[in-house]
Amino acid sequence: MILLIIRIIVNLMFQTSRTLPHVYSNLIIPLQQINNRMKIRYLFLSLLVCLCLFSAFPQKSKVNDSLAAKSKNEADAVTLYREYVLDSLIKVRLQSELVQSSGDRRKTKELEAKLRKIEQQDSLRKVELMRKIDTLKLHAKGYAVAPFNDTLFFVYAKIVSFTPEERVKSINKRIRELYQDPFFKPDSLRLSESESGTEIDYKNHLAIMMVTKIDGLIVNKDNTQLAGEYLKIIRTAIVKEKAANSLVNWLKRIGFVLLIIAGLSLIIMLINKLFKWINNRLSGSGERFLNGITINKIKIFTPDHFEKFALRLTGLVRIIIIILIVYLSLPLIFGIFPETKIWEATLLQWILSPTKKALQGIIGFLPNLFSIIVIVFIFRYAIKGIKFFVDQIEKGQIQLSGFHADWAYPTFRILKFLLFAFMLVLIFPYLPGSGSPAFQGVSVFIGILFSLGSSSAIANMVAGMVITYMRPFKIGDRVKIGDIVGDVVEKTTLVTRIRTIKNEDVTVPNSTVLLSSTTNYSTNTRAPESGLIVHTTVTIGYDVPWKDMHKALIDAALRTKMILKKPEPFVLQTSLDDFYVSYQINGYTREANKQLEIYSLLHQNIQDCCNEAGIEIMSPHYRNHRDGNMATIPANYLDKGYKAPAFNVNEVKHK
């Protein structure tokens, strides 16, 4: 670090009067040319400066050490290269002397010994030189020389205090100065050798750049050879740029732009006509192409809706195609002019980079996609196998002890849900982005929302599963749940739907069904059970013999449709009240869903049978005079000579 700062300060203090382009070609002044007194003062001042720098900027010590190490490597490499060249020259001289002293044996041996020693030293220096060069290549960063946007070559090494980036800026500036020179002559670019390297200059007064030995060593070439290559590249670039910006070429470029615009307008016009023809075909004969969409016999899209959707879709596709064509034409236009040619790659990159990433993502996803397809294939046919087994249980072809046939399909749905859940667990790691924190965060967020907002739904689902295995009713049963009476028309995981006797559909949550008492009228109507008992009560006065009443009620029950003859109807006397007896007629039926009709027919037949037996159906809660009043029996059941009895009046004498 100290040596580097010393050299910089010395060269700033003792630079020659040469112009700026030649400054960095002769920047290093040998320290041997300075007298001893000046050396002492110079070293003392340099040490003070270094100490101040180290105390003021301790945080930059690592960076400075790195720069010092790099500078030392460059200096060592140059020294080794010079020694290697010097050894090569000495080796040539010794070989010449060896040829001349062919008759002198002693001198020949001495020269051969010197040659062997030089060859050994040469081999060691060559190995050390290659190691230094490899170290420089490892840490070297190339800066592009691009005066006209296109890269000509790269600069890796610095020259004393000039960093590679500063060298590149200076080279670009001077190349552009040559380009702007109206009297530029390509043949005036020449090479000139100096102690520091090979210089490229123009007419011996404008230095373009210096190619040092380090520049050559980094690319494994001699600096003179590398400078010649750079000179040809610079000359070609300037000539090409001047030719590209000539008036003729500008007129050609403008013509190309107008041609591209005309072609673009023609393509857009053809696209509009094509989509207009498509829209007319869809509107004029849409029924031939647009029949709507039907899934499981459910009309998802009508032809009219599908036509509107198709027209909007074609309009959107047309706009996207036009925008894409216009966008792709911009790189063509920008690529025509040198000033905007840099935007050509940028515009293409904006559309090609996402496309490339998408294609790479799709290609990279193919192995995972194959794994997902295999998993889905296995689970799909596993579910089909279980479905076949369930169908056989439901049809009664397979019977399992303690497992009812009506449990088969609900159990299949539970197994299907569990299998799908397990399949998703297996597929999840193969999905694109499944390992990203964003994907995992969204998954957790959805899970929290689901758990907080679906507590009642989960309660109904659990209740639905419990009801399934409790088997309190089946589809079609007449039930009473709470205050609701009707037929069960649907059972789902969440709700049970009941159709009342007035043809009203009532939806009952499964949790309510589980918590309420349920009466099933249809359970005992199936063989081998006796059937549902329908019953009604009639109150008759004590003046009617109970045997007559029993007979009339049983006859009425036997006459009623849908009441079974076997088992026989029976009568129960449920109470003996103050003024009457309560008779309850009971009959068996297997039509639980037609109870309202059965009760209506039974009541009609009770009236007929009682009238035929001469039994008045009346409530004896009131008192009346029977004398002088007609009987309550209908007239068609009375005798033809029947007359209302006269009032009996008895005279009572008081003593």
Where do the domains of the chain lie? 2-139, 143-244, 250-336, 367-453, 458-520, 525-637
Q: Which amino acid is at 477?
A: D
Spatial distance between the Cα atoms of 95 and 118, rounded to a whole number of angstroms: 11
Exposed, middle or buried by CB within 10 Å (0-12, 13-18, 19+), for 360?
exposed
Residue 115: name the closest of 103, 105, 123, 104 by CA. 123
Q: What is the pLDDT of residue 625?
A: 56
pLDDT value of position 129: 65
- The pLDDT value recorded for residue 641 is 78
Distance CA 248, CA 72 (A): 53
Give the chain's length.
655
Strand partners, 389: none
| Pair of tokens at residue 432 | 């694109």
Q: Give pLDDT, residue 509.
A: 92
What pLDDT score was predicted for residue 552? Answer: 94
Pairing of strands 197-202, 189-193: antiparallel
- Structure-block tokens of residue 440: 């995992």
Q: 590 — phi, psi (to 5°)?
A: -110, 5
Q: Is the pTM of this model over 0.95?
A: no
**198/219 Cα distance (integer angstroms):** 15
Q: Which residues pair with 496 in a beta bridge?
A: 491, 508
Q: Report the distance separating Cα 435 and Cα 429, nearest Å.
A: 7
E strand or H helix at 77: helix 61-100
Q: Quick check: 199 and 63 in contact, CB under 8 A? A: no
User: What pLDDT, on a 0 to 100 scale, did the predictor assign at position 8?
Assistant: 44
Q: How far is CA 605 from CA 534, 553, 609, in A?
A: 14, 8, 6
Are 8 and 160 contacting, i.e. CB atoms less than 8 angstroms apart? yes
Task: Work out the number of other CB atoms within 10 angstroms of the CB of residue 245.
Answer: 15
| Greatest CA separation for the chain | 205
Q: What is the C-alpha separation between 286 and 277, in angstroms, rounded?
A: 13
Cα(444)–Cα(38) distance, rounded to whole angstroms?
A: 76
User: Which of the listed CATH numbers 3.20.20.60, 3.40.50.300, 2.30.30.60, 3.40.50.261 matches domain 458-520?
Assistant: 2.30.30.60
What is the pLDDT at residue 57? 41
CATH architecture of 525-637: 2-Layer Sandwich (3.30)
**E strands within 416-531?**
478-481, 484-491, 495-500, 505-509, 518-520
Tell me the C-alpha distance between 618 and 610, whole Å.
11
The parts of the chain modelled with pLDDT lower than 50 are 1-45, 48-49, 51-65, 67, 622
Q: What is the pLDDT of residue 293?
A: 61
Which amino acid makes up residue 218? I
Instruction: Report pLDDT for 410.
Output: 82
